[in-house]
Chain A
Amino acid sequence: MLDVPNPTTTETAFDLRKEAEAAGITSTLQQLEQELIGLKPVKNRVRQIASLLLVERMRQRAGRASAPPTLHMSFTGNPGTGKTTVALRMAKILHGLGFVRRGQVISVTRDDLVGQYIGHTAPKTKEILKKAMGGVLFIDEAYYLHRPDNERDYGQEAIEILLQVMENQREDLVVILAGYGERMTSFFASNPGFRSRIAHHIEFPDYSEAELLFIAELMLQERGYRLSSPARDALERYIALRRTQPFFSNARSIRNAVDRIRLRQADRLVSDLDRMLDIADLETIDAVDVLASRVFNGGAAADARSAKP
């Protein structure tokens, strides 16, 4: 809005590599590649957006017409596929690339936007929008905004205010809607205005077994553990079994499994009070810690209760 320089001289040639490095695009994309496992469609879209920014900048300097791109996004996918994680990271990326001015993320659900009585919704929604200005507004489980069974639901009012700001102040904030696939589809079907104002519809695919294993190892590594090689085999079998059982929610189930494995490891160490422990004992996960899981006995119902999001 403010810091758009008005070039008096137009340039005619650009060094692409230098431009990309100056904009911090190369390092941002590298970081994304390292920190997020899988998620090909997401990474592809981020790369496209980054490229657009770069080209827009050069076009501007060359005196060609340029319009700020629409960056509102919708993330759809099964539970635990990383929608929230990517949304939080997206703010940093967009800020790094200069699309948003401040880079904060305001994460809200229906309760934060919709009021409880007439005249309550508009100030509430605007309050949130004002806080999100210059950054990213992340609306989790966005379909709850629309209640098809109740015509007078205040959610509609919040939707209208959102749409207006999404349209008029595109350069001030980026709105990301997230939710489970089918319900988002029906939400967009009943609010066509939303669908057309969102430029990027990104599907989050389920993780493959290899990716899940990698995620588990990364999680353990972050917490300062390492797997013995029989434990690694056991974990591989665990993931294959867990995927077929009900209430599987991708990386979230894996995180819960990792936490339970740590519990079992601690329990195993404490059960024998008379022995001396060394550092290797403290940080190694053994196969027994993994194999003690109910998943191996087909105890899906019992396991589902604790793994539920």
Chain B
Amino acid sequence: MKLTQGCFSYLPDLTDDQIYKQVQYCLTNGWAVNIEFTDDPHPRNTYWEMWGLPMFDLQDAAGVMMELAECRRVYGDRYIRISGFDSSHGWESVRISFLVNRPKQEAEFELVRQEVNGRATRYTTVRKATQHAAP
């Protein structure tokens, strides 16, 4: 199952050249670019771990690509995403976020239904246990 999170996730995976151009777009807009990784890509998990600090004051995306290569070398078996944070007044939030790395064996999720209070139903997205054991 191909995980779909953030921008471009219904497209084929971005190539390095395409990532470079997206990152350069962020930098041109003055956003701080972050690299984050996780082995728990549950849609409700917003707390991915950061690879180093947010990259402020960069001019060229080559610097980000250098860090991304390093992050892939260490955490190639995890999900890695790049986000662009806009610190300008009125925005102060993440403006773009997209996946740049997936593990070979992708995480699988299923929908669990729970009946409560008569006929009401609660839905939960749960990661399948078989995949969970071996990251």
Residues of A near any B CB (own CB < 8 A):
1-2, 101-102, 104, 123, 126-127, 129-135, 165, 169, 172-173
Contact indicator A169/B17 (Cβ below 8 Å): no
Contact indicator B59/A134 (Cβ below 8 Å): yes
Contact indicator B20/A133 (Cβ below 8 Å): no
* Chain A contact residues: helix, strand, loop or mixed: loop
Given contacts A123-B52, A130-B55, are A172 and B62 in contact (CB under 8 A)?
yes
Contact indicator A133/B21 (Cβ below 8 Å): no
What total count of A-B pairs have CB within 8 Å?
46
| Most central of A131, A135, A169, A173 by chain B CB within 10 Å | A131
Q: List 27 A-B contacts (CB under 8 A).
A: A1-B20, A2-B17, A2-B20, A101-B60, A126-B66, A126-B67, A127-B53, A130-B55, A130-B66, A131-B57, A131-B58, A131-B63, A132-B63, A133-B59, A133-B61, A133-B62, A133-B63, A134-B59, A134-B60, A134-B61, A134-B62, A134-B63, A165-B66, A169-B62, A169-B66, A172-B60, A173-B62
Distance in angstroms from A279 CB to nearest chain B CB is 44
User: Which 3 pairs, one residue from A and one from B, show the smallest C-beta to C-beta distance?
Assistant: A134-B60, A130-B63, A133-B63
Alpha-carbon separation in the docked complex, A102 to B59 (Å) = 7
Tell me which residues across on chain A come within 8 A of B61, comparing CB atoms: 133-134
Contact indicator A129/B60 (Cβ below 8 Å): no
Tell me which residues across on chain B come within 8 A of A102, comparing CB atoms: 59-60
Contact indicator B59/A131 (Cβ below 8 Å): yes
Tell me which residues across on chain A come within 8 A of B80, comparing CB atoms: none
Tell me which residues across on chain B come within 8 A of A169, comparing CB atoms: 62, 66
Q: Which of B20, B21, B63 contacts A129 (CB 8 A)?
A: B63
Alpha-carbon separation in the docked complex, A130 to B62 (Å) = 7
Alpha-carbon separation in the docked complex, A132 to B64 (Å) = 12
Distance in angstroms from B70 CB to nearest chain A CB is 9
Q: Which residue of A lies closest to B59 (CB)?
A: A102
| Most central of A2, A129, A165 by chain B CB within 10 Å | A2
Q: Which residue of B lies closest to A100 (CB)?
A: B60
Name the interface residues of B94-109: CB closer than 8 Å to any CB of A: none
Tell me which residues across on chain B come within 8 A of A172, comparing CB atoms: 60, 62
Tell me which residues across on chain A come within 8 A of B63, comparing CB atoms: 129-134
Tell me which residues across on chain B come within 8 A of A1, comparing CB atoms: 20, 62
Alpha-carbon separation in the docked complex, A131 to B67 (Å) = 12
Contact indicator A104/B62 (Cβ below 8 Å): no
Alpha-carbon separation in the docked complex, A211 to B125 (Å) = 77
Alpha-carbon separation in the docked complex, A127 to B55 (Å) = 8
Distance in angstroms from A272 CB to nearest chain B CB is 52
Alpha-carbon separation in the docked complex, A132 to B62 (Å) = 10
Tell me which residues across on chain B come within 8 A of A165, comparing CB atoms: 66
Q: Which residue of A lies closest to B70 (CB)?
A: A126
Alpha-carbon separation in the docked complex, A131 to B20 (Å) = 15
Tell me which residues across on chain A come within 8 A of B62, comparing CB atoms: 1, 133-134, 169, 172-173
| Most central of A1, A126, A130, A173 by chain B CB within 10 Å | A130
Contact indicator B60/A133 (Cβ below 8 Å): yes
Tell me which residues across on chain A come within 8 A of B57, comparing CB atoms: 131
| Most central of B21, B55, B57, B59 by chain A CB within 10 Å | B59
Chain B 49-79: CB-based contact to A (< 8 A → 1; otherwise 0): 0001101011111111011000000000000
Contact indicator A2/B21 (Cβ below 8 Å): yes
Contact indicator A130/B67 (Cβ below 8 Å): yes
Contact indicator B64/A130 (Cβ below 8 Å): yes
Tell me which residues across on chain A come within 8 A of B52, comparing CB atoms: 123
Distance in angstroms from B67 CB to nearest chain A CB is 7
